Amino acid sequence: MQARIEAVRFPFAAAVALVAISLALVLGMALGYAIKPAARISVPYPVFAAPAAMIPADEANPPCVFVNKHKEC
């Protein structure tokens, strides 16, 4: 009987795929951090409501106008 030595080869394709996926993940996170907005305004602009007595009558109920065959009031 003849003895054989079987060499178990390293799964090169799996290692390359793992390195490529991890590199893409790291680059994606770095680019996402680099191009994010520098500052965000988290407070909305204030909205002021004027009482009806302060609004002139012609501005409160403007007349309807036809623009391009559409009625706009």
Report pLDDT for 34. 85
What was the pLDDT predicted at 53? 64
Predicted confidence at residue 54, as pLDDT, reads 62
pLDDT tens digits, 22-69: 999 999 999 988 887 766 666 677 777 767 666 665 555 667 777 787
At residue 17, the pLDDT reads 96
Provide the token pair at 12.
């090169």
pLDDT for the residue numbered 49: 74
Task: Sort residue 68 into left (φ over 0), alpha (ψ -120 to 50) or beta.
Answer: left
Residue 24 and residue 32 in contact, taking contact as beta carbons nearer than 8 Å: no
**Which residues, in sequence order, are CB contacts of 73 under 8 Å at separation 6+?**
62, 63, 64, 65
